[in-house]
Amino acid sequence: MYDVALEDHLPFPVWQNGTISPCVNQLLLGSLSHAVIAITSACYISVLTHIASSLPIGWGFRAASTLLMALMFIGDLVLVFELQAPGIYLNVLADGCGVLAWLVHFGAVLALQRSMYRRTRGPALFPVLLILPIPNLAFILTAYVQEINHLGVLQPLQVVRLALTVTRAALVLVYILGYIFPCYRTQRDLLSCNAEDTAPLIVTFEPDGGVTVAEDGCSWLSRLLYLWLNPLLRRGKRGELEKPCDVFQLPHRLRTKAEPERMCEGGTQRDVKLLQVLHKAFGLRYYLLGVLKLVASMLAFAGPLLLGGLVGFMETEGAPLSKGVWCAVGLFASTFLAAVLRNVFVYEVSKVALEARVAVISTIYSKALKVSASALARFNMGEVVNFMSTDTDRVVNFFNSFHEVWSLPFQFVLALYLLYLQVGVAFLGGVAVAVLLVPLNKVLASRILENNKHMLLHKDGRVKLMTEILFGIRVLKYYNWEEHFTQKIAETRKKELHHLKLLKYLDAVCVYTWAALPVVISILTFITYVLLGNNLTAAKVFSTLALVGMLILPLNAFPWVLNGTLEAKVSLDRIQRFLTLQDQDLTVYYSQVCPEDPLSAVEMDQASFSWKQSEEDDSISVPDDKTEDGSLKRSFYLHGSLVAVVGKVGCGKSSLLAAITGELTRSGGEVFVGGREQGFGLAVQEPWIQHATVQDNILFGRDFDSTFYQAVIEACALADDLNILPGGDQTEVGENGVTLSGGQKSRLALARAVYMDKEIYLLDDPLAAVDADVAHHLMEKCILGILKNKTRILCTHRIEFVDKADVVVLMDNGMIVKTGTSFHKACPLGSLNRNFVSREEEEANEPELVAELKMFGEEQKQMGKLSWAVYCSYWRAVGGCIAVAVLLSLFLMQASKNVSDWWLSHWISHLKDNTTELVSLSADPLLTLTFLSPERLINLINFYMTVYGSLAATNTIFTAARAFLFAYGAICAATVVHKRLLSSVLKATMTFFDTTPLGRILNRFSSDIYSVDDSLPFVLNILLANVFGLLGMLLVMSYGLPWVLVPLLPLGVLYYQTQCFYRHSSRELKRLCSLTLSPVYSHFSETLSGLSTVRASGHTASRFEEENERRLEQNQRCLFSSNAAMQWLDIRLQMIGVTVVTGISLIAVIQHQLKSIDPGLVGLSLSYALSITNLLSGLIFSFAQTEMQLVSIERTEEYSTNIPQEPQEASTEVLESWPEKGRVEFVGAVLVYRPGLPNALDGVSLEVLPGERVGIVGRTGSGKSSLFLAVFRMVELNQGQILLDGVDISSVRLSNLRSRLAIIPQDPFLFSSTVRENLDPHGRHPDFRLLDALEQCHLGDVVQRIGGLDSEVGERGKSLSVGQRQLLCLARALLTEANILCIDEATASVDHKTDMLLQKTIREKFKDKTVLTIAHRLNTIMDSDRVLVMHAGKVVEFDSPAALCQREDSVFQKLLRGGEDRV
């Protein structure tokens, strides 16, 4: 086009040969009108879809004519290349736009056929769009007819082009007729335009209480400029975006329910190939979006070429004004269209990515519910949650980078070709360096990928360890292990930081090459060009500079895009591996043949089971591999009978129940369960409680039946507990039931099972954690009462109830040893002392603690802009000196770059002045010779090149300094922030951990620390570069064209207002995204924890999937609004950029006419202006992203400074041997968990003598556990004192106090490391001591069997049974040298025989020490020196058991009688 214009000496002529010129016709009437059609049609492609019952015939004609129109343009394009006529590029551009326009319009027509418009004519805008290209068509037809009349039919191809154009005109007519006459198939269709399945033409949005639905039903203009988002942004500016429900509903296409269905269409669930399914579900639409990317990329290259034309116009005196005007118009049109197309592309791709995200997460969740337990055992919970979080994010991010994979090489090749056109072979000088850097980039990319992998491995290890620490924080504090675990975390963090450091320095090399490359390539290109004997002109220089800028982007971005693709591939493979795990196939697991006895509910015949998958027994080591083997065919579980399963710890009772529910792998024999489709009522040994209200936990998704509900509450002895709870059954029990005591959790889980109303009940030791009264109540009212007509299989250690069973099963070592109809027949264990009483198992938080925990409360979301304290804390973390050095190096880097560019324009202007003088002096050849001799010319060029080269070298030095200083600062900040956070959290009070969900704390250590390590430095680096870049650019532009300040000032105000309007909402939307993401992951973790209960209950899985969809949709709503807000801002910033480019172009043209212009400075200003759009949008996005990432600093800072801390100071230093005697004295001790609550300890005064054994008894909430909490200072006393050997414990350093006491807590928590580390983390004892302690706790054989002291105990000790874990905790206490031992229900899950032996061990080993025991079985404290009876926080009785038994009014005697009565 530019060449043709030069031939005519009049670029872009409007009128030619008595008609409009082909240039204007094809460019304005053709290409521009088709671009408008494409953009407008694109807005309707994702319109709300319905299923059409019938369709007016007119739609079919319109779709067909649109598709044929695109084919006509493709045909014409082929003929253009064949003919090679003048103006070929003009025709290619016009035909290309035509193909794009009609293909996009075809997609829009197809979408509208299935939308609310299908029984109407469609949007009224469509006929207007069709009229736009008609003038172009008319002029083309006229031109072709004239040409054929002139030349005759000598060129048959020209005649074919005429035929194609006539066909196009006919198709336009067909389309218009299809619009005017829709041709409804029936009269009913004509009348039902808004009936049944069609939405009204004016869409009203009603879902979720009138919340607006985003985007659906909006006009094309509203879609293009995101006007539909304005109400949301206004709400954000007013500070009203506080809750997820404040944002818009998702468009119907993005609703979560639609995605899994779309995924299911893409592949069978048996052998899912995730990539193929994603391809089938989203591929076509996603690939079509690539067309927009292609056109936008091509339009971007029009800028440098038109810039060259404009600067050439400036350099030529007397050049026609029309040439300058057309260059300015071309710059406006190309930048405007490129901006709009790029915006539409990014927005539509983000929508596809959101759809894919829902599909992948839902698929993973669904798979987790179906996968067999043995297959799932390959992964720990953290890994499975990672599939849903990190891996899914990486796969979804690939949607954003895939189109870059092909477009970046395309842009690179195109930039090279255009460079060749500008400077010939000289471009090879600069490109050679760029090409040499490709291997370097490849090496860097591979090293970065490798280090990233290692860093993530160490991060996973750190987060896993942190998870365990938080789960076992109570145990950690009791044992004073904070320092040891801080050290462990520090070691893992050190390894993580080592790889992070390498990663940051490699990043710094990449940043250095990225920033220095444009300057180096420019220098080498220009020097080569000059050395080849060419003269530099402003047009060539600034076109080349702009093209070099465009060349750098693909060169530097490609390794990152490649990395993203590789990461996505790795994550896709990881998810794929999970999806191909074997599902639970119950039809194969259970026998389909009914047993001979029709009354049999469960029958096993020679059945053996394993916790492992049979084909992989060798590869998976599960130490507690238990096998149940019924050696005889028995129908021992009759319908309606009570079966008691007994046996010692670790004999396989829990595994037997898991075998019945199908959680194990059946490796032989047959299993039959009657009515298994209905599911089981399962109550597992470790109660699984949902983060919901008490009522929701009991109902478990079933309908509320008031009568039955009350009966269940009564049967499970929950009525009194509900009276204690502040909100009754509407009290929210928190994560994993943290606000309930152990016994309450156990009975709540039992109530849930009972309310399910199943035919078969599997009850795993529900009586272990309750006192005799409650145990009798549960047995009589629940197991033998409300469940009397059900089949009940009860595993228990409470042998006093076994006689009431119809069948007794004795197990040993994973085998069913014996069955019988009475206890003594099945279990000839001799006479046993069955004098039991148990207190309700309490966690350290007494029921009173619950009073303030009616609700955990949602995580507090900070409102408004970030405070300066956040910025200051990051500045301090980086280090003041480093931060100043980074800013200084950035300033010098930018200044040297701008000065080198200015020097280049000065060089060109100077050359131009010399050339002008040369022309004026040409009358005197001698003078000319002396004025510009060859030597002087060479010296002049050498001078300019030397200065230019020196400036460039200086720039690269400052660039390197900035990159490496920044990397060092980021490492410093990452180290400091994590260290402060860890120290603060581990020193927090127990109240903080009891009232804060674990996921919330863990979020700080995982995603927030990841942001501080990686994401924040990355975006902050970009932000600072953008800020300094923009300042430099504005200074140079103002210097080169002072008049540019006139449009810049109002545009600057507009820019500021726009970004302020956006930032308020973007900040809140980001916070809402974080806030709604935690519930998705916590629900998934919760589901994985209770998988056996969920699956056993039958049809509950679908309800859990729906809950996952609901939570996910909340998060998607916030994400979608956040993405849309970014594009809202982007289109406005792009328009400001377009205005700046157009303004500078017009000012340059006007000043040229006034002859007051320096082409060099205009070229420099324009080359800067061309990139101002990207810089403006980059600046606000990087600023918004930095603010979003700084939210992580805000969140870590909150936990580093604002959480309640345990007092660390000490006023009394104690000896190493303290407390030598073991005297414990309470003096008027008052303990209140919260202001306004009743006293947990109410004036307790007592003295325990040295070496005395004291048993502590009392009802739930009497203050027993509060005594231990007070002694260990887990909660500080409000009044009074506790003295150990006469020393007030409040004056002793906490670490000293806790290390001198020993406790066997009721929660048998183990860390997932070796047996050795769980016993002796500090490594203070030799092996023989450890083995001796294990032998005394009857664990020697078990530990040897699983591999000795260095064998792993599994995640949270899962390789051992609950009873075995309690024994291991007892072994810890045996190793201690403490003179005071506190035992808190240490043998609740141990069989009676083992309990007797353990009591003997405790008596022998701690005979000279003070022992305080919270009693579970009264026989364990009958030989105590004294018994302490507590009630309502007060001491009721404190005397020897014998003395208390003799007193008629003794509370202890009543407890004792209560126990005997029940036996």
**What is the average per-residue pLDDT within 773-784?**
85
Q: Distance between CA atoms of 401 and 349, rounded to whole angstroms?
A: 10
Cis peptide before 1219 (omega within 30 of 0): yes
Which of left, alpha, beta for 632 (phi over 0: left; psi -120 to 50: alpha)? beta
Give the pTM: 0.67
Instruction: Give whole-number Cα distances, 355 to 293, 480, 760, 1064, 1084, in Å.
Output: 20, 48, 41, 27, 19
**What is the average per-residue pLDDT within 552-573?**
76
**What is the average per-residue pLDDT within 768-790?**
82
Does the pLDDT value for residue 210 go beyond 60?
A: no
- Residue 380 makes CB contacts below 8 A (sequence gap 6+) with 464, 1355
Nearest residue to 1155 (alpha-carbon basis) of 389, 316, 442? 316
Does the pLDDT value for residue 888 go beyond 90?
A: yes
Does the pLDDT value for residue 1387 go beyond 70?
A: no
Are 652 and 815 contacting, i.e. CB atoms less than 8 angstroms apart? yes
pLDDT tens, residue by residue, 707-743: 888 999 988 888 887 887 777 888 877 676 766 777 7
Are 233 and 1061 contacting, i.e. CB atoms less than 8 angstroms apart? yes
Instruction: Mark out the alpha helices in 1253-1326 (DSSP H runs).
Output: 1264-1271, 1294-1299, 1315-1319
Residue 620: how many CB atoms within 10 A of its CB? 15
186 burial type by CB count under 10 A (0-12 exposed, 13-18 middle, 19+ buried): exposed
Does the pLDDT value for residue 1219 go beyond 60?
A: yes
pLDDT tens, residue by residue, 867-886: 788 888 888 888 889 899 99
The C-alpha torsion from 792 through 796 and 799 to 802, rounded to 10°, is 10
**Percent over 70 (pLDDT), the chain:** 83
Does the pLDDT value for residue 294 go beyond 80?
A: yes
Does the pLDDT value for residue 1302 go beyond 80?
A: yes
Treating both helix axes as pointing N-terminal to C-terminal, what angle do 302-315 and 392-423 enclose, rounded to 10 degrees?
30
Does the pLDDT value for residue 841 go beyond 50?
A: no
Question: Looking at 896-905, 937-946, 999-1008, which range is the least confident one?
Answer: 937-946
pLDDT at 1167: 73
Does the pLDDT value for residue 1400 go beyond 50?
A: yes
pLDDT at 616: 40
pLDDT tens, residue by residue, 217-272: 777 778 888 888 888 888 888 877 777 778 888 887 777 665 555 555 444 445 56
pLDDT band at 1017 (very low <50, low <70, confident <90, very high): confident
pLDDT at 1389: 61
pLDDT at 472: 82
Helix (H), strand (E) at residue 858: none
**Coil vs helix vs strand at 364:** helix
pLDDT band at 15 (very low <50, low <70, confident <90, very high): low
Beta bridge partners of 1437: 1429
Q: Distance between CA atoms of 866 and 1066, rounded to whole angstroms?
A: 12
Q: What is the DSSP string of 75-141?
A: HHHHHHHHHT-TTHHHHHHHHHHHHHHHHHHHHHHHHHHTSTTTTS---THHHHHHHTTHHHHHHHH
Phi and psi torsions of 1284, nearest 5°: -115, 115
Question: Tokens in use for 575?
Answer: 């998810």
The C-alpha torsion from 996 through 999 and 1000 to 1004, rounded to 10°, is 130
Give me the residue label for tokens 């069997």.
Answer: 1345
Q: Distance between CA atoms of 54 and 188, rounded to whole angstroms?
A: 10
pLDDT band at 193 (very low <50, low <70, confident <90, very high): very low
Instruction: Give whole-number Cα distances, 1218 to 203, 1214, 1221, 1249, 1323, in Å.
Output: 78, 6, 8, 15, 22
**Percent over 90 (pLDDT), the chain:** 2
Instruction: Tell me, letter by letter, the H, E, C secondary structure of 605-664.
Output: EEEEEECCCHHHCCCCCCCCCCCCECCCCEEEEECCCEEEEECCCCCCHHHHHHHHHCCC
Instruction: Mark out the alpha helices in 1090-1205 (DSSP H runs).
Output: 1091-1096, 1101-1153, 1159-1170, 1172-1201
Instruction: Give whole-number Cα distances, 486 to 952, 974, 1036, 1300, in Å.
Output: 49, 16, 53, 20
Nearest residue to 723 (alpha-carbon basis) of 734, 714, 736? 714
Which of left, alpha, beta for 602 (phi over 0: left; psi -120 to 50: alpha)? beta
pLDDT at 884: 92
Give me the residue label for tokens 């690269």.
Answer: 956
Which of left, alpha, beta for 419 (phi over 0: left; psi -120 to 50: alpha)? alpha
Question: Tokens in use for 1277?
Answer: 């006393």
Amino acid identity, position 300:
A
Give me the residue label for tokens 């880097």.
Answer: 893
Question: Looking at 263-277, 751-765, 1036-1050, which range is the least confident one?
Answer: 263-277
pLDDT band at 405 (very low <50, low <70, confident <90, very high): confident
pLDDT band at 556 (very low <50, low <70, confident <90, very high): low
pLDDT band at 973 (very low <50, low <70, confident <90, very high): very high
Question: Looking at 382-386, 462-466, 1102-1106, which range is the least confident one?
Answer: 382-386
1437 burial type by CB count under 10 A (0-12 exposed, 13-18 middle, 19+ buried): buried
**Coil vs helix vs strand at 797:** coil
Nearest residue to 271 (alpha-carbon basis) of 570, 579, 588, 571? 579
Q: Distance between CA atoms of 738 and 847, rounded to whole angstroms?
A: 11
**Coil vs helix vs strand at 970:** helix
**Coil vs helix vs strand at 1228:** strand
Q: Distance between CA atoms of 1221 and 676, rounded to whole angstroms?
A: 61
pLDDT at 434: 73
What is residue 846's DSSP assignment?
-
pLDDT tens, residue by residue, 895-940: 988 888 888 777 777 766 554 443 333 333 333 333 445 566 667 7
Does the pLDDT value for residue 62 go beyond 80?
A: yes
pLDDT at 850: 34
Q: Distance between CA atoms of 834 and 1461, rounded to whole angstroms?
A: 11
Average pLDDT, the chain: 77
What is residue 594's DSSP assignment?
P
* Total residue count of the chain as it appears in this document: 1463
Are 504 and 970 contacting, i.e. CB atoms less than 8 angstroms apart? yes
What is residue 693's DSSP assignment?
B
- Residue 258 makes CB contacts below 8 A (sequence gap 6+) with 252
Question: Looking at 549-553, 923-927, 1342-1346, which range is the least confident one?
Answer: 923-927
Q: Distance between CA atoms of 974 and 751, rounded to whole angstroms?
A: 48
Does the pLDDT value for residue 1092 go beyond 80?
A: yes
Residues of the chain by 3-state class (helix, strand, coil), percent to 5 = 65, 10, 25
Residue 1098: how many CB atoms within 10 A of its CB? 16
